[in-house]
Amino acid sequence: MPVTEKDLANDAPWKRIQQNTFTRWFNEHLKCVNKRVGNLQTDLADGLRLIALLEVLSQKKMYRKYNQRPTFRQMQLENVSVALEFLDKEGIKLVSIEASTVWESMGLTAELSRPSPP
C-alpha cells in the first residue's frame, strides 16, 4: 500500500500517538526528580531534561559539567553533547545522532525508550 501525504503529515494520527507515548514515558521517569516534558521537541532542546532522564535511568551522574541555565543555542547544544557522550561512555552506541539532531528534533527518543540489552 503506497504511503499517502496524509500519512506523512505532522498531525498524522500515528505521529500523535507516538509523541504522546514518548511524552508519558519521559514524564514517568522524570517525576522522581520533579521535572516534566510537555513538548518533546522544545523541552529537550536545552539538554537539561535529557540529562536528568539519563541520570535517573542509569542512576549515575554526568561525567562532566553542563550548563545549568543554558540560555543560548550553543550552551544548549553543549548540554546535549554531554548527554550523548554519557551514552557513549555507558556503551550505548547511537548512529547518526548528533547534538544538533537532538536539538532540532526528537531523534533520540525512540532509542532511549527501548529496553536496554542484558
Listing DSSP states for 71-107 in one string gives: -SHHHHHHHHHHHHHHHHHTT---SS--HHHHHHS-T
Report pLDDT digits (tens) over 32-48: 999 999 988 788 889 99
Which domains are delineated in the chain? Answer: 13-112 (1.10.418.10)
- Give residues with Cβ within 8 angstroms of 99, minimum separation 6: 77, 78, 80, 81, 84
Quote the cell numbers at residue 20. 504522546
Specify the pTM.
0.76
Report pLDDT digits (tens) over 75-106: 999 999 999 999 999 998 887 777 777 666 65
Higher per-residue pLDDT: 101 or 8? 101
Q: Looking at residues 62-68, what average pLDDT do you find?
A: 95
Higher per-residue pLDDT: 84 or 114? 84
Lowest mean per-residue pLDDT among 9-13, 62-66, 100-104, 113-117:
113-117
The pLDDT of residue 61: 96
CA pair distance 89, 84, nearest whole angstrom: 9
